[in-house]
Structure 1
Amino acid sequence: MTAKKKEKQRQMMTNVSVHRCVCHKRTSLGPLSFHSNVNGRLITLSDGGRRATRDESSFRHGLVFSARPVQIQEKLRLRVERSTKNLHGSLRVGFANVLPEETTLPSMAVPDLTNSSSLYAAAILHEDTCYPGSETEFWIDRYARLWTRSSDGTKSFQPTALNIHGPIWAMIDIYGQTSAVMLLGSKKKDRLYTYRSCPALKHNKHTDDNNYIYKDINKETLKRLNKPMSMQIHESYNTGTEAFDSEDCVVCRSEKPNTLLSCGHKCACTPFAMKIILV
């Protein structure tokens, strides 16, 4: 390996360490958000870098990347937040072996990036699966196959030429009728544990009780959880949601709900339940 390649590898690994999780959980994959400095010219980030919105003046220029490299078999979950019926085409999801900072962003991932180099791979999602509220999982396996799973459970894969032994970044093209998406987190299973991405980018230690408090908690969600249970159930019924039957924490949408709240429901993970109680 030449000195230049060694230096590039060192820079890549430095980039990995910058995004290590600071909550010190053994099963944490680290925080997951969109890259703040490398995205299409019509993209705006919000919600701590987890929501990406493309200006609807064009169906293109909606490329975004993950802020950190992802792992093999790390399944990223993405929700469509907004779409328009005036345009054709839909979301593209995939991965890149190239540092986002070293990528010259074209207007589209497919075919601009995928046809130009084997270091990029993306799958085109069908328009019928990309409607507001729909969720998609995508990941790369140890055979360099790009997998996708839609809201109805349908799975598909395509082979890629990606190098799974080097750093890999998630790549999403908010294209066509899809104009806004939210990163819901990621998880990776092995024989003993389920590893999950951290729900917050910043953690602040509470000096009184030695617990971690998250300052970027969604205020609307917190307000909803603090309402009387009868009102929450009424709102859930009216909106067609099933918040209290969810397998995930209703706040972070990534950890398992494991703490009983004063209302008598177990719908939040421990860190966010503590935040709710202390507010």
Structure 2
Amino acid sequence: MNRFVRTARFKESCVISCILVQAVGSLITLSDGGRRVSRDESSFCHGLTFSGRAVKRGEKLRLRVERCGGDWHGALRLGFAHVSPEQTPLPPLAIPDLTRSPLYAAVIVPEHICRPGSEIEFMLKKNGSLRIRSSDGRTHTEQTTLNPEWPVWAMIDVYGQTTAVTMLGSEMKRWIFTSRSCPALTHIRHTEDKETQETPKLLSFLALDHDAPDCAECVVCYSDVANCSLSCGHKCVCTPCAMRVHMTFGTCPLCRITDLGARNVCVC
């Protein structure tokens, strides 16, 4: 089949799974299959939410502000996290509770672009900066401590005057076309970013063994092949779990050695 015919067909298909919300704060209610996020107006905080899958590199996420209420000051906060939602604590606020750590980053969205009906796009750029774009085309960019080569999850803090938002989907520029996310599902499926599983140089502390036998299961998730050798010598985890263990605990899950530096590791 001609390459350009295949490309044209791919252009019409949904190649990015929809961004749905997974971990939520204590005052958050989900609806519309995990796309709509609402916060109880009794408080201005406890509105933290995270995406149910890792965000792809260069993927632009879009949401719409559905409701504002209360006499609170401030509005939506948007950002990204290197730590997966399952391992992330849910404090009252994204800023400063989580952003004290270099593994989290968020920006304050101005109140005047968070009115009901406003659509906002946000993404992590290749240089590690976080950019938001409002409905009227205005953009705001802030540099972060995040590494764009590492897996990231979207972080949405339904804060202050903002009490409800709806995820509209996402898009990502390809070679000669743009990929857009599929319509929302009625359930949240945990998916891994295929790119993060296959990239051999995301973190310098691990080495990939592409010839690992099928029976060598990851000792953390027990589902993927253990294809990463830590600097202590143990080949016991898959790539996604290796990054999570490194960022969260910093120790080998078997021997608990804390020095997981790159001195004794060569990337295969």
Shorter-chain TM-score: which interval? Answer: 0.5 to 0.7
Equivalent pair of 1:27/1:193 in contact (CA under 8 Å): no
User: Are residue 77 (structure 1) and residue 62 (structure 2) matched?
Assistant: yes
Written as runs of structure 1 = structure 2, the 5 A alignment for 1:24-43 is 28-35=15-22, 38-43=23-28
Amino acid in structure 1 at the alignment position of 2:132:
T
Q: What displacement does 1:93 show?
A: 0.3
Written as runs of structure 1 = structure 2, the 5 A alignment for 1:73-222 is 73-115=58-100, 117-201=101-185
Correspondence for 1:273: none
Structure 2: gaps of 5 or more residues:
1-9, 188-268
Q: What displacement does 1:26 show?
A: 5.7
1:82-103: CA deviations, max 9, x gaps? 0015111000000000011101
Hey, what's the Cα distance between the residues in 2 that align with 1:74 and 1:39?
Answer: 22
Q: What displacement does 1:77 show?
A: 0.5
Amino acid in structure 2 at the alignment position of 1:105:
L
Equivalent pair of 2:20/2:184 in contact (CA under 8 Å): no
Q: What displacement does 1:193 show?
A: 1.3
| Cα RMSD after superposing both structures | 1.7
Q: What displacement does 1:166 show?
A: 1.9
Hey, what's the Cα distance between the residues in 1 that align with 2:13 and 2:57?
Answer: 18
TM normalised by structure 2 equals: 0.64
Report the secondary structure of 2:181's partner residue: strand
Return the structure number with greater helix share: 1
Correspondence for 2:226: none
Report the secondary structure of 2:172's partner residue: strand
Amino acid in structure 2 at the alignment position of 1:34:
V
Equivalent pair of 2:126/2:148 in contact (CA under 8 Å): yes
Equivalent pair of 2:30/2:38 in contact (CA under 8 Å): yes
1:173-232: CA deviations, max 9, x gaps? 0000000000000001123110111113269xxxxxxxxxxxxxxxxxxxxxxxxxxxxx
Correspondence for 2:53: 68
Hey, what's the Cα distance between the residues in 2 that align with 1:200 and 1:34?
Answer: 11
Hey, what's the Cα distance between the residues in 1 that align with 2:104 and 2:93?
Answer: 12
Equivalent pair of 1:64/1:171 in contact (CA under 8 Å): yes
Give the 4+ runs in structure 1 shifted more than 3 A.
Answer: none
1:50-102: CA deviations, max 9, x gaps? 00000000000000000100112111011000001511100000000001110
Equivalent pair of 1:44/1:52 in contact (CA under 8 Å): yes
Report the secondary structure of 1:101's partner residue: helix
1:145-176: CA deviations, max 9, x gaps? 10000111101111111122221100000000
Amino acid in structure 2 at the alignment position of 1:76:
L
| Identity fraction in percent | 55
User: Are residue 50 (structure 1) and residue 48 (structure 2) matched?
Assistant: no
Aligned CA distance change for structure 1 residues 188 and 108 (closer, same or farther; 3 Å): same
